[in-house]
Amino acid sequence: MKSTRTALIQMSCVASTDANLEKAASLVVEAAREGAKLICLPELFRAQYFCQREDHALFSIAESIPGPSTERLSAIVREHKVTVVASLFERRAPGLYHNTAAILDPASTAEHNIQGIYRKMHIPDDPLYYEKFYFTPGDLGFKAMKTSAAHIGTLICWDQWYPEGARITALQGANILFYPTAIGWHPSEKEEFGTAQYEAWQTIQRAHAIANGVFVCSVNRVGHEQGDVNDIKGPEGAGLEFWGGSFIADPFGRILKQAAHDEEDILIADLDPQLVEVTRQHWPFLRDRRIDAYGNITSRFID
């Protein structure tokens, strides 16, 4: 079992969806030239975060999978022999849309080298995060996937807060969990709550790494956005300040790499699957699980 050089692309986004795709493509190539074999882009990287409002016109930027983004990225996948995780606004059918991660692998013979997809399971509905307006909850379940680079699982943003998703994905054999993300501060809240919000976000994901004995790779965007998308202007006002802070944690929950809050970056780390084995030998949480006693976990609430 060899180490996998893994890269997270922390980037900012502009109004032009075409410009964002080309920027993402160039950053993936840069990571590949630095030796990365497994590369993850942030959530919905093709656009500024448009879910800050409910606007039917924005459904026009959704795309099919396979589609334009997977076609552009698959050319890089084939040329550089890299595996790429790309989060996209998927148009599945008229009136049916998902927040979907496509996993592109050089060994895949499917169209655009699509090894598989994961559709975001947990969909938030909070001020400036109106995702339920746009996205149907995923119907593929939690999935682990064997790629040329590693055995991985992909979840997306709001999925980060749920230990059930991480556990089920790890139980299917994933050694590395990816969380492409678009999360930031309401500017009016940053001074009072900003540090606590970021630390809670990082802590819950480090806990997933520890509880499951896996690597966790969380990649965010940076920059202040109003949600401008092509010629569709976002709402005037404070917008969102995306907090960056992308990181890679090992199975002990130790931070291997961490990006700044306000700069673009390519985080690169060599992830050794042997550490998963060693960690689980010493912290045998999977061995000691009481699978006979967890039936109530499927209840909404236990009165």
Domain containing residue 122: CATH number: 3.60.110.10
Residues 23, 37, 120, 143: which is the catalytic one? 120
Instruction: Based on the residue annotation, tell me whether 225 is a catalytic residue of this protein.
Output: no
Inter-helix orientation angle 187-212/163-171, to 10°: 30
Residues 23, 43, 90, 217: which is the catalytic one? 43
Nearest C-alpha neighbor of 227 from the set 160, 130, 155, 122 = 130
Instruction: Based on the residue annotation, tell me whether 40 is a catalytic residue of this protein.
Output: no
Q: pLDDT digits over 225-241, tens only?
A: 999 999 999 988 889 99
Does residue 1 carry a pLDDT above 80?
A: no
Place of tokens 């990816």: 178
236 to 90, 124, 185, 297: CA distances (angstroms): 27, 22, 16, 42
In a domain, 241, yes or no: yes
Q: pLDDT digits over 75-129, tens only?
A: 999 999 999 999 999 999 999 999 999 999 999 999 999 999 999 999 999 999 9
Please, where are the H alpha helices in the chain? 17-33, 68-80, 163-171, 187-212, 273-282
CA angle 44, 70, 216 (to 5 degrees): 55
User: Helix and strand tally (H, E) in the chain?
Assistant: 5, 17
pTM tops 0.95, yes or no: yes
In a domain, 116, yes or no: yes
In a domain, 298, yes or no: no
In a domain, 299, yes or no: no
In a domain, 303, yes or no: no
Does residue 185 carry a pLDDT above 80?
A: yes
Q: Which tokens go with 197?
A: 């919000």
Domain range for 94 is 4-293
In a domain, 224, yes or no: yes
pLDDT above 70: percentage of residues in the chain: 100
Residues 157, 217, 225, 241: which is the catalytic one? 157
Total domains, the chain = 1
In a domain, 300, yes or no: no
Instruction: Based on the residue annotation, tell me whether 120 is a catalytic residue of this protein.
Output: yes
pLDDT at res. 178: 98
Q: What is the largest CA-CA distance in the chain?
A: 56
Does residue 176 carry a pLDDT above 90?
A: yes
pLDDT at res. 237: 87
pLDDT at res. 70: 98
In a domain, 153, yes or no: yes
Mean pLDDT of the chain: 97
